[in-house]
Amino acid sequence: MSTPAQTVGPFLHIGLSWLGGEFVVPHGTPGSIWIHGVLLDGSAEPVRDGLIETWQADPDGRFDHPDDPRGAVEGFRGFGRSATTVDGHFAVLTLLPGALPGCAPHINVSVFARGLLHRVVTRIYFPQFDNASDPVFESVPEARRRTLVAKSTEDGYRFDIRLQGDEETVFFDV
């Protein structure tokens, strides 16, 4: 039986901040995009003691991982980590993920914070793709799907995460 989850608490930065955590790819990588957002609580106040982690396929839809039955493709870390600032802001520099078989391009996001006894998980989808054909996206009640779609910005995308209340982000049972 699994070990239970507990909150990261307010001092998560001590253990979970890394130099370069935000850089899924190094600065200046051709085609790199910033994904920016804010993490907000049920009163629309910024969460300043939170952390997001991202996990995604490379631009060809491949993973550097032995359990991918198509084979591992080396070279792309696929993982980003950004603690929120006092304004609740987070950001990762990455490459747009490719489509997976039968799925639209997406990035998995784990959210940790003081007051979250277990991580919550959401997904970032992108506005330029046919998300309606993605089985996970399609399983979400239609009125809430827009909370999963990032908005285009000058240097990439914007994806805000609302833990509770109006326009609450869709979270998944993993």
Partner 1 sequence: MNLIGYRRDPEGIHPPLDSPSYGSTRLRHPGERLVLLPHGLTEITGPLLGSGRVTKTDSDLTLREPLGQRVILHGRVLDGDGRAVPDALVEIWQANAAGRYLHNADRWPAPLDPGFDGVGRALTDSRGRYRFLTIKPGAYPWRNHHNAWRPAHIHFSVFGMAFTQRLVTQMYFPDDPLLPHDPIFNAVPDERARGRMVARFDLAVTEPNWALAFEFDIVLRGRDKTPEHR
Site for partner 1 in 52-91 (CB under 8 A): 53, 55-57, 63-65, 67-69, 77-79
A 10 A CB-CB count for 102 gives 8
CA distances from 15 to 12, 18, 113, 125, 171 (A): 6, 8, 13, 29, 25
Establish if 132 lies at the interface with partner 1 (CB under 8 A).
Answer: no
Binding of partner 1 by 114 (CB under 8 A): yes
CA within 13 Å, CB half, 17: 12
Provide, rounded to whole angstroms, the least separation between the CB of residue 118 and partner 1: 5
The candidate with the shortest Cα–Cα distance to 40, out of 141, 143, 120, is 120
The CA distance from 52 to 110, in Å, is: 6
Q: Which three-class secondary structure state does DSSP give residue 46?
A: strand
Q: Which is nearer to partner 1, 33 or 54 (CB)?
A: 54
Q: Least distance to partner 1 from the beta carbon of 74, Å? A: 11
* Virtual torsion, Cα 5, 11, 91, 93, nearest 10 deg: -80
Taking CB under 8 A as the rule, does residue 160 contact partner 1?
no
CA 72/CA 68 separation, integer angstroms: 6
Binding residue for partner 1, selected from 29, 60, 98, 115, defined by CB under 8 A: 115
Q: For residue 133, state whether it binds partner 1 (rule: CB under 8 A).
A: no
Distance in Å, CB of 2 to partner 1, minimum: 5
- Please say which residue, 144 or 155, places its beta carbon nearer to partner 1: 144
Give residues in contact with partner 1 (CB under 8 A): 1-16, 41-43, 45, 47, 49, 53, 55-57, 63-65, 67-69, 77-79, 100-103, 106, 108, 110, 112-121, 135-136, 139-140, 144, 163-165, 168-174
